[in-house]
Amino acid sequence: MATTTLDDYLAQLDQLQQQALQRFRECRNAQELEQVRVEYLGAKRGVLRQVQQRLKELAPEEKPQAGKRFNELKKTLEAALEEAKQRVAASPQPEKPAKEKRRRGAEDLPPPFDPTAVPPQAQLRLGRLHPVTQTIRRMKEVMARLGFEVADGPEVEDPWHNFEALNIPEAHPARDPLDNFYLSTARLTEPQPPQEEGPQLLLRSQTSTVQIRVMEKRPAPVRVIALGRVYRPDTADATHFPMFHQMEGLYVDRGVTMAQLKTVLRLFASMFFGPEVQVRFRPSFFPFTEPSVEVDMTWKDGWIEMGGAGMVDPAVLQAVGYDPEQVTGFAFGLGVERVCMRQYGIDDIRLLYRNDVRFLQQF
Ligand code: DAH
């Protein structure tokens, strides 16, 4: 997906033209003019050259119009340079300052300080969205076309939404403190207060929490996705990071089947990655689905695991007050970073969270 739109680009050229013409007009001698020439028309680092590079980022069908406007701009600036050259050559050179100290006239003073002025180079540094944000937006778009609306839930959760309602009972290993970020309310520096009442909160370890929150709030049918951060105390390596994102999907209605689940995930994959991607479902286990599958997609010469899915377990439907005799549903959870990495050919998740602009500006 192009990161620069035609409108942005054309607006940038207009702004640049205005600025540059003004700068050429303000030149009072050959030396100043040379500085401004290099700044804008310099062959290697000139602003114009940088702007020309960005043409590449536009969609192919936008390029002709953008290129035409770029050429006009270039001609305009070259003409302005010529005009300024002649004007500077014709104007009398300032006299050498007399040895005697002259009284300073108004023209000798530097221009007044303008704290709101932005240097022309800085204005051209357009920001862009983080690749994960771009991926999340695309995923939402694709799922919207498949009829899924976006739901949301908190990142700090209670055990009911993160575990219990999802059929993960108290003694289940998934609730181990070593596998979760539980939040402690005790202060380290003071004597421990008596144990507070109420559930022990944690950073959610999965977006499946939002399934519960949505179904608690409204009756079937529901067809939603939820995209957001999840947290697990994993050691960071090429495929793991203690914070990552998931896209959860949930569809509950009368007569929803596994065939529909497979179709939706296949459609998502081909709409997102293109028709050549293949999707594979492997039998698996999750407490909140029965049956459960692992979802893989082709990448390079092999498969990459994208997430899990299955038919919503009747116990989950019961937990939120749905009648499993009346409705069935499917659910899935995909790793957003995995999708992003396959989309852009990134082979190490840590690159996404190093905040290195040289890496990020490629997307
Ligand atoms: N919550 C699971 C995880 O984080 C992923 C998942 C599996 C979500 C199956 C689902 C599902 O909705 O049906 O590993």
* In a shared domain, residues 238 and 302: yes
What letters, b where the CB count within 10 A reaches 16 and e where it falls short, cover 169-179? eeeeeebeeee
Count of structural domains, the chain: 2
Residue-wise pLDDT tens digits, 21-43: 999 988 988 888 999 999 999 98
208 lines ligand 1 (CB under 6 A): yes
| Contact by Cβ (8 Å): 244, 233 | no
Of 44-53, 132-141, 352-361, give the lowest mean pLDDT range: 44-53
Residue-wise pLDDT tens digits, 182-212: 997 655 566 655 556 678 999 999 999 999 9
248 lines ligand 1 (CB under 6 A): yes
Confidence band of 328 (pLDDT split at 50, 70, 90): very high
pLDDT at res. 143: 98
Share of the chain above pLDDT 70, in %: 90
153 lines ligand 1 (CB under 6 A): no
Return the CATH number at 254. Answer: 3.30.930.10
If you measure from the C-alpha of residue 115 to the centroid of ligand 1, how many angstroms do you get, rounded to a whole number?
52
Confidence band of 137 (pLDDT split at 50, 70, 90): very high
Kindly report the protein residue whose alpha carbon is nearest to atom 4 of ligand 1: 206
Kindly report the protein residue whose alpha carbon is nearest to atom 8 of ligand 1: 333
Average pLDDT, the chain: 91
247 lines ligand 1 (CB under 6 A): no
- The structure's pTM equals 0.67
pLDDT at res. 127: 84
Mean pLDDT over residues 160-167, rounded? 98
78 within a domain of the structure (yes/no): yes
The Cβ of residue 242 has, within 10 Å, a number of other Cβ atoms equal to 14
119 within a domain of the structure (yes/no): no
pLDDT at res. 343: 96
* In a shared domain, residues 135 and 266: yes
306 within a domain of the structure (yes/no): yes
If you measure from the C-alpha of residue 309 to the centroid of ligand 1, how many angstroms do you get, rounded to a whole number?
6
350 within a domain of the structure (yes/no): yes
Q: Which of 34, 63, 90 delimits the end of a domain?
A: 90
CA 6 to chain centre: 20
* In a shared domain, residues 13 and 141: no
| Domain limits for position 279 | 131-154+204-360
356 within a domain of the structure (yes/no): yes
3-state helix, strand, coil in the chain (%, to 5): 45, 20, 35
* In a shared domain, residues 236 and 333: yes
Q: Which of 90, 122, 139 delimits the end of a domain?
A: 90
* In a shared domain, residues 241 and 300: yes
Residue-wise pLDDT tens digits, 258-293: 999 999 999 999 999 999 999 999 999 999 999 999
